[in-house]
Amino acid sequence: MRTHVLNGRVRTALWFSLAVLFLALITILGLVFAREAVVTDFSRKNLPPSSACIFGTDWMGRDMFVRTLAGLSMSIRIGLLAAGVSALLALLLGILSATMGKAVDSAVTWVIDLVMGIPHILLLILISYACGKGFRGVVIGVTLTHWTSLARVIRGEVLQLKEAPYIKVAGKLGLRPWQIAWKHMVPHLFPQFLVGLILLFPHAILHEASITFLGFGLSPEQPAIGVILSESMQYLAMGKWWLAVFPGLLLVLTVALFDVAGESLRKLLDPGSAHA
Amino acid sequence: MKTHMFFLGKQGIRMLLLLVCVSIAAFFLVSVSPVDPLQANVGQAALGSMSPEQIEKLEAYWGVGEPPVQRFLAWASDFFRGDMGISLLYRRPVSGVIAEKFANSIWLLAIAWVVSGVLGFCLGALSGMKQGTWIDRLVKGYSLLIASTPAFWLALVLLMVFAVWLKILPVGLSVPIGMEAAGVTLADRVRHAILPALTLSITGVSNIALHTREKMIDICESDYVLFARARGESNWSIFKNHGFRNAILPALTLQFASISEIFGGSVLVEEIFSYPGLGQAAVTAGIGSDVPLLLGITVISAAIVFGGNLIANILYGLVDPRIRRGGGSL
């Protein structure tokens, strides 16, 4: 066994803070540099990475590093909105499904099966098409399609909770179902809800990038990681590898960091695995 | 036996009802769309130079101005008779377009599905049995990394490495450009499917590997494996007699349930490699407002996904003897 200076709990907390800090940094830097990201300078187009522009420049002389930051910042903000609304929807439907009786339960599980039955990307294409493409379509699409798995988890959890003695006692003491749900179930579900919320981010961001990449999402003028990567495709054959490699790597890092944040929070909130 | 048939019938009816709902939902989504098919396909400039009669004709062709419920009923009744309508972009029956694209896609999907399943299961099992070693850390690290990697970026990187730098594999399309259909050999088709299939396989591995690993760790901590070790069974025989049998069922279920994800990945990958499959057709239909084709693809792909889930449910009964004997308890 190796011995660590810091115990497991502190190390996990450190990882969590590092991940959150880094993500916050990307979001803020992207906002700060929003104007620089669209500055074109035709005296420096198609430059490979150098010390001045560490990610190189594109065909319009835009600094790829700044552009990537702005794009990721946009992705994170869309992810924040979509994951937040999605998670709340999941919590609400999960609790409704497990407490409001059989008819509501089958209705909710039916909708979950329905949403999960259409391949995710195809559903996003359909919703984006329904909203007339563009920004609104992506946000609505990503929000409406990510709640299903978390809703399933919460429903299962509530079904178990309903059998717990303290919930039964609360019922016998005359609390109404919504009072039980709010006072006794929500606090119990909160850790799972929080972890589920953070773990929704990676999916939301990847799907936002994918759908934009396919041409259904954000419009080409907007700094979006999907737009950057789909533009880079046209320049691949000419050997301009930096246009695709670095933005993609930063996207992978962002998504992985959300995973790290979610998993370490799960460890911290679950006493059983806090020291593992 | 009777309970078995009952179970199958119930699942089948459920699947059909879900498909009906999918088609209603999809139809609703495309009919609320503000996208004007005329603007998207004919263009503002061309529309301006046309006479009102011409525009009226075009509007009738693209189905502008009809009430949605009426359109849905007409579409659904045709669909039940096997007529999915005419694709507006390809100007051929939708069923024909889908059949052709599906024939291209199915190879890609099948190869990726089998390779990622087998590879993922083996890697996951290995890593679970060797928990804590460098193999375990390698497999786990790989799976976590791939889970964060968008399939379309991986496709770009592979395209760059193999097609642009090394020039050993073609850039796209399922057959060489400018060649007659008759002159295309099987080798050509395989060569053009390698990169898309590779991308889909690489990304498909991570989920199944991680789940199998968890399952294998549970199995290795069980009493029966402890007893097997005490009897002096080797690692291989423990895997063969205990690990494999217990881990294969959840893995199979997961793999059948993951058809939706592989199909989703194929949409992106086919678009990048311009592989003329179902996924690329879906994107083309969405961008070009080809509503009949988009609806057809949605219903067909949902049927494939539900079919996968149905098979997973049935397999549960076939593979696990406990469920098989007590069929009624399911």
Which residue carries 């990187």 as its tokens?
Answer: B157
A126/B260 Cβ within 8 A: no
Highest average pLDDT, of A6-20, A44-58, B65-79, B123-137, comes from: B123-137
Q: Which among A9, A15, A18 has a CA at the least distance from the CA of A272?
A: A9
Domain-located, residue A67: yes
Domain-located, residue A98: yes
* Cα A19 to Cα A24: distance, rounded to the nearest angstrom: 9
* Cα A223 to Cα B155: distance, rounded to the nearest angstrom: 22
**Start-to-end Cα distance in chain A:** 13
* Cα B90 to Cα B280: distance, rounded to the nearest angstrom: 13
* Cα B42 to Cα B222: distance, rounded to the nearest angstrom: 66
What tokens does A91 get?
A: 């919590």
Query: CB of B248 within 8 A of CB of B121?
Result: yes
Closest Cα in chain B, distance from residue A184 (Å): 32
Output the CA angle B157-A227-B296, nearest 5 degrees. 90
What tokens does B101 get?
A: 């694209």
Domain-located, residue A48: no
One pLDDT digit (tens) per residue for chain B, 330 residues: 566 677 778 878 888 888 888 888 888 888 877 776 666 666 666 666 677 777 777 776 666 666 677 777 777 777 777 777 777 778 788 888 888 888 888 888 999 999 999 999 999 999 988 888 899 999 989 998 888 888 888 988 888 888 777 776 666 555 555 555 555 666 777 777 888 888 999 988 988 999 999 899 888 888 998 999 899 888 888 888 888 888 888 888 888 888 888 888 889 988 888 888 888 899 988 888 888 888 889 988 999 888 888 888 777 767 666 655 554 443
What tokens does B295 get?
A: 């609806």
Q: Which among B259, B237, B248 has a CA at the least distance from the CA of B315?
A: B248
B29/A130 Cβ within 8 A: yes
Which residue carries 């991308």 as its tokens?
Answer: B199
Is the pLDDT assigned to residue A5 strictly greater than 70?
no
pLDDT in the model for residue A4: 58
Number of domains in chain A: 1
B271/A248 Cβ within 8 A: no
Query: What's the CATH number for B100-324?
Result: 1.10.3720.10
Question: What would the pLDDT profile of A126-148 be if each residue is shown by its tens digit?
Answer: 998 888 777 888 888 888 888 88
Domain-located, residue A238: yes
Domain-located, residue A47: no
Q: Which among A44, A36, A46 has a CA at the least distance from the CA of A243?
A: A46
Domain-located, residue A45: no
Query: CB of A258 within 8 A of CB of A201?
Result: yes
Does residue A122 sit at the B interface (CB-CB below 8 Å)?
yes
CATH number at residue A82: 1.10.3720.10
* Cα A57 to Cα A47: distance, rounded to the nearest angstrom: 5
Highest average pLDDT, of A36-50, A60-74, B36-50, B56-70, comes from: A60-74
Closest Cα in chain A, distance from residue B204 (Å): 15
> Does the interface predicted TM-score (ipTM) exceed 0.85?
no
Q: Which among A270, A240, A258, A193 has a CA at the least distance from the CA of A47?
A: A240
A256/B164 Cβ within 8 A: no
Q: List the domain range (segments joined by +) for residue A149.
A: 2-35+63-273
Domain-located, residue A125: yes
Integer CA distances (angstroms), A40 to A62, A64, A98, in order: 5, 11, 55
Residue B292: count of CB within 10 angstroms of its CB = 22
Which residues have CB under 8 Å from A120's CB, separation 6+?
A145, A207, B260, B261, B264
Domain-located, residue A41: no
What tokens does B322 get?
A: 């406990």
Q: Which among B217, B230, B208 has a CA at the least distance from the CA of B131?
A: B217
Does residue A276 sit at the B interface (CB-CB below 8 Å)?
no
Rounded to the nearest 10 degrees, what angle do helices B2-31 and A120-130 cross at? 30
Question: What would the pLDDT profile of B22-80 be if each residue is shown by its tens digit?
Answer: 888 888 888 877 776 666 666 666 666 677 777 777 776 666 666 677 777 777 777 77
B265 interaction partners in chain A (CB closer than 8 Å):
121
What tokens does A66 get?
A: 């700044």
CATH 1.10.3720.10 residue spans of chain B: 100-324
